[in-house]
Each structure stands twice: as C-alpha cells, then as structure tokens.
Chain A
C-alpha cells in the first residue's frame, strides 16, 4: 500500500502496517475499511464517516477524525490542511455530558 504518493504535510505519518489496525476505537473501524472508503471515492472526513461510521462513536471523532484526515491526505495526495475537519459534532450516538463539555474548538486543525 506504499505506492500512494506522500505529498501531504501532516504532522503524523501513519505507518500502514496492519490493515486490521483500529483507527476509530469507538466504532471499531479498521484501517482497511477507511482505505476502502477512500478508494470508493470518499474525499472528506464526513464522507468517510458516512461510509464507515468512523467518527460517530462516543468520543464523536475526537480520537479518530485527525487520523482519518491524515489518511485522506496520504491516499488522495491532498494537502492535510486543505481537508476540512469533521463538520457537525452533534451527538448522533450518545455521548457523555462530560466529554461534550470538554470539546475544544479545534476547527483549525
């Protein structure tokens, strides 16, 4: 899978070692599933979310959406910073009040 160009400028580079690696812990979405979604045409975090549920879990994408952006950058050749973060973090699944209260405004990346 290393044939994809690495023109993105993200801070973390995800070593793609194991397709079963869990990217979204809350929804148990694997790396292979995310890459499949991208190869099917997903180009934004929201599109990946709709196809795989990554980002819909208890933490509402706090843990995984950054990783998904990196993967999108890596696999589509886009610049990391041009990939918008997840839009609505409305609880689509239950989320603890405490977690919601601790959300910071990280819309800049």
Chain B
C-alpha cells in the first residue's frame, strides 16, 4: 500500500515539528511555506522555554514539551544551544510581590518547581539589579535555546525521514470532496493531492482555515524585540529575568502592553522584550514602544544604560482567544490544526508535533486533547 501523504502548511517552528514527527512516524510529508524556513514569528522570538504559563493545561503541555526537547538534543544533528538557565520574576512593589507569591502557590499545586524570594536574596543573586525591587520568584525548570536552530534542525531531521520541503509556495486554496474529506492543496506552484493537511500557518492560520470553510479565531498579536550588544555573562547571573507584571501583560486586551523580559544569550547579547499589541499584520517597530521597553529595562538594570541597541524587529504571535493552543482534528476529514501558541510556541513545538502525529496515526495521545480542540470555538458543538 502506498504511504499516506501529509501536507504541512507553514515553515515556522510548529510546522517544522509536525513535519519531523509525522515523517518519523512513516508518512510521506511535504512541508511548504509562502516564504522561507523560519522567517516569521519563530524567527522573531526569544528562546525561552516558559514552563509556567497558566492556565494549567499550558503548564502540562510545556512540561511534556521540555521532556521531548531533552530527547531532541540527542536525536537532531544540530546543537540547539540548550541551557538550563532557570528564570526569575521580579516584583517592584509590595502588592506585586504578594500577587507573585499567590501565583507561585497556584503553580506549586500543579507541580511547578518555584520559590518566592525576599528582596535581599534576589539582590544577593543579582547584584546588578536596581535596589528598588521588592522581591521575586525563581523558576529553576525554565531554560533557553535557539529557536532558529531548533526549526532548521527539525526540518533537516524531517528531510532525513524522507520529507520534501517546498519554499516560496503559497497555499491559495484547499479542495474538499462531497464527503467533507481533504482532496488537495492548491498553491501558486500547482496543486498537490493529499490525504492529510496540517494547518501550521501561525498568525495566518485563520485564513487557511477559511479556505476549508472552518472557523479558526486565531489573530496576529505583534511583539517587538530589541537586541543589545554583548555584555559580560556576569552582568546577569540568571539568564532570563522578567517583570512580575509579565503574566498580566498577556491579558492586556486592546491596549499595547509592555513588560520587561530580559534575556542574555549564550553569545552574550541581551535580548530585550516584550510588547503585545493587536495591530493586524503590521510589523512596524513603533518608536514609542521600544523607547518604553528601554525605560523598563533600565529600571531593572541601570548598569545597561550605555549599552548599544543593535537591532529591533517585530513578529506576529498566533493569538488564540483563550490563550490555549489549538491542536486538533476538524469537521473536515484529514484537515488538522496546529496553531494559536501565542507567546509559547517555541516552548510547545515538540509536544505539538508529537500530538499531531498521534492524532493522524490514530494512536492514543500522550495528553487529553479535548481542551485543545477547535470545537471549543464552534457554538453548535460547544453549546
């Protein structure tokens, strides 16, 4: 019997991971992107493995994903630049420290390793932090890696298992037969017949779903990042330092939200985030936003004031209305969705690829898939 064929739409980290796990499971796989590999959100991101983004379902996805990363370090032929850095969240007022402590209690109840730290302890660990801070919390399970290398490594891995990669290939239509089953994918480079389609088109995945007459409420949520010159590694002992307001910034609604998120890469450069805004597909770097990001950063690390900002850019996070990704089959037989990872797509890439492969191959999934189903956005089904 001929091998079943899957087309994966999107050459970001999510599409790359789906291609890898599907090709490895024995399917014939074609990965396509309208541009190149890893050119959109996945390229724009920081490489923080964020193990404690609530709600709990995200924590569980992140935890399983990190385990898979530990296997990928051996499986893939590239150095993912993985570092078990841990992360620290810093409070600037007594109230935000109380709220951080409450979050930690909630996280500990679901098995997250974290510890609330008083002001003196934080300043002992991070002598360069501004002394106005009131305390913090440490998250030793968090880690860092290089998202670009991960994406390329997964694609190369998929290729080894026989996958075909088609770049500059834009999907413009999805053909479905009368029995609501996938037939083919239409692109600017011709039509390909296929048994399965995985929609991993990130911020654009809503448009791909439209082509299959499905409602997928994923929206682009812009995030800006700046990169600073190299500084000595001892400026920050913990390589990922975030404002305690970061979790609140996730719920910012329509306002532009800025929360300091400061990371030092293995090369010594400092990556400075983060912002969130709904601005359609616009990727302009807004001067007032990076200026605010610079102010926030200096509030935490005044010693960085003379550092040079080398570059800045914006990326579009695939935002899902309930901040939980969509990893799901659909009403159209053979059409699957892997999208909506917002600010944790790097963290969740491996588990997403594995779950999609288990779904398509009719295997028992590693985790319950109901909370991740597209059906939660369908009023007829979820009512």
Q: Chain A: residues with CB nearer than 8 A to chain B?
A: 88-91, 94-98, 100-103, 105
The reply to whether the CB of B228 lies closer than 8 angstroms to some CB of chain A is yes
Alpha-carbon distance between A41 and B258 when the two chains are bound, in angstroms: 39
Q: Is the CB of B309 within 8 A of A95?
A: yes
Residues of chain A contacted by B297 (CB below 8 angstroms): 97, 101
Question: What number of B residues sit within 8 Å (CB to CB) of A?
Answer: 22
Q: Is the CB of A90 within 8 A of B308?
A: no
Q: Is the CB of B285 within 8 A of A94?
A: no
Q: Is the CB of A100 within 8 A of B309?
A: yes
Q: Chain B: residues with CB nearer than 8 A to chain A?
A: 226, 228-229, 284-285, 287-288, 290-291, 294-295, 297-298, 304-312
Residues of chain B contacted by A91 (CB below 8 angstroms): 226, 290, 309-312
Interface SS of chain A: loop
What's the least CB distance linking A58 to chain B, in Å? 9
Q: Find the B residue at minimum CB distance from A90.
A: B285
Residues of chain B contacted by A103 (CB below 8 angstroms): 287-288, 291
Q: Is the CB of A94 within 8 A of B229?
A: yes
Residues of chain A contacted by B229 (CB below 8 angstroms): 94
Q: Is the CB of A101 within 8 A of B298?
A: yes
Q: Is the CB of B305 within 8 A of A98?
A: yes
Alpha-carbon distance between A95 and B310 when the two chains are bound, in angstroms: 7
Q: Find the A residue at minimum CB distance from B270.
A: A97
Q: Is the CB of B291 within 8 A of A97?
A: no
Q: Is the CB of B305 within 8 A of A100?
A: no
- Nearest 8 interchain pairs by C-beta: A89-B287, A101-B294, A94-B308, A98-B305, A100-B294, A90-B285, A103-B291, A101-B295
Q: Is the CB of A98 within 8 A of B298?
A: yes
A-B contact pairs, 22 of them (CB 8 A): A89-B287, A90-B287, A91-B290, A91-B310, A91-B312, A94-B229, A95-B308, A96-B307, A97-B228, A97-B294, A97-B298, A97-B305, A97-B307, A97-B309, A98-B294, A98-B298, A100-B290, A100-B291, A101-B297, A101-B298, A101-B305, A103-B291
Interface SS of chain B: mixed
Q: Find the B residue at minimum CB distance from A102.
A: B291
What's the least CB distance linking B364 to chain A, in Å? 49
Q: Is the CB of A96 within 8 A of B312?
A: no
Q: Find the B residue at minimum CB distance from A92.
A: B311
Alpha-carbon distance between A91 and B309 when the two chains are bound, in angstroms: 7
Residues of chain B contacted by A88 (CB below 8 angstroms): 284-285, 287
Beyond A88-B284, A89-B287, 16 extra complex contacts between A and B, CB < 8 Å:
A90-B290, A91-B309, A91-B310, A94-B229, A95-B308, A96-B305, A96-B306, A97-B309, A98-B298, A98-B305, A98-B306, A100-B294, A100-B309, A101-B297, A101-B298, A103-B291
Residues of chain A contacted by B228 (CB below 8 angstroms): 97
Alpha-carbon distance between A43 and B323 when the two chains are bound, in angstroms: 45
Residues of chain A contacted by B287 (CB below 8 angstroms): 88-90, 103
Residues of chain A contacted by B288 (CB below 8 angstroms): 103, 105
What's the least CB distance linking A61 to chain B, in Å? 10
What's the least CB distance linking A9 to chain B, in Å? 26
What's the least CB distance linking A56 to chain B, in Å? 14
Interface centre among A89, A95, A101, A105 (most CB of B within 10 A): A101
Q: Find the A residue at minimum CB distance from B304.
A: A97
Alpha-carbon distance between A96 and B288 when the two chains are bound, in angstroms: 15
What's the least CB distance linking B313 to chain A, in Å? 9
Q: Is the CB of B310 within 8 A of A94?
A: yes
Residues of chain A contacted by B307 (CB below 8 angstroms): 96-97
Alpha-carbon distance between A64 and B42 when the two chains are bound, in angstroms: 37
Alpha-carbon distance between A95 and B284 when the two chains are bound, in angstroms: 18
Residues of chain A contacted by B305 (CB below 8 angstroms): 96-98, 101
Q: Is the CB of A90 within 8 A of B306?
A: no
Alpha-carbon distance between A100 and B229 when the two chains are bound, in angstroms: 14
Alpha-carbon distance between A95 and B229 when the two chains are bound, in angstroms: 10
Which of B298, B304, B312 touches A90 (beta carbons < 8 Å)? B312
Alpha-carbon distance between A81 and B288 when the two chains are bound, in angstroms: 21
Alpha-carbon distance between A32 and B210 when the two chains are bound, in angstroms: 56
Q: Is the CB of A94 within 8 A of B284?
A: no
Residues of chain B contacted by A90 (CB below 8 angstroms): 285, 287, 290, 312
Residues of chain A contacted by B308 (CB below 8 angstroms): 94-97
Residues of chain B contacted by A94 (CB below 8 angstroms): 229, 308-310
Alpha-carbon distance between A105 and B291 when the two chains are bound, in angstroms: 9
